């Protein structure tokens, strides 16, 4: 099940601002090929996250995204997964 939580801003006629959370729930039934793709994406994202957690010091997210390109040499299986999921792992 996937939960998506959104913050909605509502402005009334009296110029009062209200904030409200809305949640949408989706149930996903992936087939075997989709499960394989999802597990590969999650495994590579976890590996990226762990690699940057092991580095000492503060690194900006922009610099991490540049370093991900350099990791393609050491980890060639990163080319098989979605690059957006790898970039989102550093945030």
d(CA 46, CA 49): 5
Please state, in angstroms and as integers, the Cα–Cα distance from residue 82 to each residue in 9, 17, 88, following that order: 32, 39, 10
What pLDDT was estimated at residue 47?
Answer: 92
What pLDDT was estimated at residue 32?
Answer: 92
d(CA 20, CA 37): 35
CA angle 64, 36, 50 (to 5 degrees): 30
Q: Which two tokens stand for residue 86?
A: 């790898």
Q: What is the arithmetic mean of pLDDT over 82-88? A: 85
Q: Is the pTM of this model over 0.85?
A: no
pLDDT digits (tens, 9 = 90+) for 27-71: 888 899 998 998 999 899 999 888 888 887 787 888 888 888 888
């Amino acid at each position: 099940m996937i939960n998506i939580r959104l913050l909605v801003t509502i402005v009334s006629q009296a110029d009062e601002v209200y904030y409200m959370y809305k949640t949408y729930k989706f149930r996903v039934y992936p087939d075997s090929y989709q499960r394989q793709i999802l597990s590969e994406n999650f495994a590579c994202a976890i590996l990226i996250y762990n690699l940057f957690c092991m580095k000492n010091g503060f690194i900006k997210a922009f610099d991490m995204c540049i370093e991900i390109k350099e990791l393609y040499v050491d980890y060639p299986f990163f080319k098989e997964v979605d690059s957006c999921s790898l970039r989102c792992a550093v945030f």
